[in-house]
Structure 1
Amino acid sequence: MRPAVLAALPLALLSVPAVQAQEADRFTLRLGALNADAETTLSASTTYQDQPYRFSETFDFGSEEWVPRVDGVFRMGDRHRLVFDYFNYDKKRRETLGEDISFDATTIPAGSYAEAELDFQLATLVYDFAVVENDSFSLGLQIGAEWAKATASLVAEAGDDRWTDSASEDGYAPVVGVRFTARPGDRWLLNLQGQYLDADWGDFDDYDGSITRANAIAEYRFTPNFGLFAGYEWYRLDVKREVSGDGLGNGIVGWDQRFKGPVVGVTLAF
């Protein structure tokens, strides 16, 4: 029996799941969706006739929205990676009058409405260098570029009158980040990542502020090439801009936009 056992040993070793070697994947693509809860805070401040005036209001776009999220990793060597991701939040909110509203000689008829839409896109491409790399975990430092675009529009209709307006801003800037990846088991992967961008670093016109991002996912591989992941994502866009008040003095307008929520998806590895 002993020679038979020795003869079977190489076959047994070959049958060990190849997922143990998934760290050597050349390319990993994660396609998922974020159940985003968005919160917006608009603020403004100015000084008029030596008196300070400030305004701040927080509002949301209603219920959570499932939005697309894509990220991937291209390994160029044991310690060298290119990491990219893309996120898009597009949500509308509509408010409609259920009955007439009158003031002075003006009546706004029932059925009049106002509809706001926010479209926010964020894409990142960074070079990741693993300062620590072994079979159990990896710690990487990141530097690259991030592109952001925000488009807001408003449509209002009252009787025969209709009013529309929209604004769009976009720009790019260098981004820095850190990544930690651990493998607690043959089929499991845990990944944590944080990134930061300062608007002063790049092409964001006269905006001042920052974009901060953090996420954590747990991934399970069913095969070396296919798996599922779940986790949590958090974004914050905090920007300010100086404006001229045309006789009312100069002021500052601020926009604090936050997205957060669970994320789920599939992993494809090659």
Structure 2
Amino acid sequence: MSRPASRFALALLSTAILATFATAAQAQSRDDRFVLRLSAFNPEAELGFSGDGTVTDGSDTATFGFDESFDTGREWRPRGAIGFRISDRQALIGNFYDYRRDETWEYGGNVLDTGTIIPGGDAIEIPGARIDGRLSFRLANLNYEYAVVKNDSFEWGLGLGVTYAKLEATANGASTGTDLLDPEFESVGWERDGVSPGLHTRLTWTPAERWTVGLEAQYLDTTWGNILDEEGHFERGGLLVEYMVSERVGIHVGYDWFRLKLKDQYRGTARAPDGIDAGPFPYSGNVTGDLKVHGPMAGVTFRF
């Protein structure tokens, strides 16, 4: 083969290789203007309460503490996510959750060492209880994101956004009673909703033409908005693996985890039943509530 022909073949081969890489890069970047993900979320929840406090009769004081946790079963719930690309590096990212679960919890009781508050130093038995309750919340956030790092297969974005949350807890509780306390039954309800600013970050990796792997996280402090009066924070993390079956439709699986941790102070007065010469007993302390929700998800992706 002559040298001009060899040069021509080499140039043709180089052009083909460059065209192949350009096509692959274009396929991997997939800069779709709009992405919609509809998922089924199968979470379980862990609800914990811990704290400490003091009780007194006005002259002597005793301390006490508690640490209890309750688990819930799994139930499929809806979940959604959207993405709208404003420009090459700017995007709006949104997420929606709807969690609801009915459960029954049982508490076995405890014994409070009162020291010298009760004559003779007798201990006080804290009664056991059964609680039938419901936990539910709706969570939606919308974040503005700017891609700090962006190339054909990798993107890292940081952003700010706003979160709306509605939290609700209802419970019917019955205590067993002790020598000092009669059995009781109470129904309580608690509901909060509001908005708060939050922080956002997201990593997206496109290892091949049809595949996407993503990591996403949000964080907010309850003092930033008006969702809750109690001090605390909300944090969320998610992992997503997506495969595009066609140019516009894909399937995805993933795992989501989020946590709401709250701290508050409490105080009150306990009174002994009629006929027992003791008390009243003012008490106060600090309590921490910790709700963790986590589980797998799967669904369908639409890109436009």
TM-score, normalised relative to structure 2: 0.71
* CA gap 1:183/1:17 in 2 versus in 1, 3 angstroms: closer
Secondary structure of residue in 2 paired with 1:164: strand
Match of 1:58 among 69, 75, 80: 69
The change in CA–CA distance for 1:241 and 1:35 in structure 2 (over 3 A counts) is same
1:176-195 → structure 2 map (5 Å cutoff): 176-195=199-218
The residue number in structure 2 matching 1:268 is: 302
If each structure's strand is expressed as a fraction of its own residues, which one has the higher value?
Answer: 1
Q: Which structure 2 residues correspond to residues 100-111 of structure 1 after superposition, within 5 A? A: none
Distance 1:198 1:95 in 2: 29
Find the aligned partners of 1:195 and 1:133 in 2 and give their Cα distance. Answer: 20
Which residue pairs with 1:116 in the alignment? 133
Shift, 1:21, TM fit: 6.1
Quick one: structure 1 residues 176 and 233, their matched pair in 2 at CA, closer, same or farther if it must change by over 3 Å? same
Distance 2:29 2:139 in 1: 28
Q: SS where residue 248 of structure 1 aligns? A: strand
Which of the residues 285, 295, 303 maps onto 1:251?
A: 285
C-alpha contact (below 8 Å) 1:137/1:181 kept by paired residues:
yes
**Structure 1 position 39, deviation (Å):** 0.6
Provide the rounded CA distance (Å) in 1 between the counterparts of 2:241 and 2:105: 39
Once the two structures are superposed, the pairs formed by residues 108-257 of structure 1 within 5 Å of their partners are: 115-155=132-172, 164-246=187-269, 248-257=282-291
Identity %: 36
In structure 1, list runs of 5 or more residues that go unmatched. 1-5, 97-112
Range moving further from structure 2, 191-200 or 38-47: 38-47
Structure 2 unmatched ranges of 5 or more: 1-11, 107-129, 175-183, 270-280
Secondary structure of 2:53 counterpart: strand
Q: Structure 2: how far apart are the matches of 1:19 and 1:121?
A: 38
Count, aligned residues: 240
Structure 1 residue 219, shift from structure 2 partner = 0.3
SS of the equivalent of 2:208 reads coil
Q: Give the aligned residue type for 1:179.
A: R
Are positions 1:29 and 2:52 aligned together?
A: no
Distance 1:260 1:205 in 2: 22
- Residue 169 of structure 1 deviates from its aligned partner by 1.6
Instruction: Select between 66-75 and 46-55 the one with higher mean Cα deviation.
Output: 46-55
1:72 is the counterpart of 2:89: no
2-structure distance, mates of 1:195, 1:264: 20
Query: Are the aligned partners of 1:206 and 1:242 in contact in 2 as well (CA < 8 Å)?
Result: no
Structure whose alpha-carbon radius of gyration is higher: 2
Q: Which moved more, 1:233-242 or 1:196-205?
A: 196-205
Q: 8 Å contact 2:132–2:173 — kept in the other structure? A: yes
C-alpha displacement at 1:22, in angstroms? Answer: 6.0
What TM-score do you get using the length of structure 1 for normalisation? Answer: 0.80
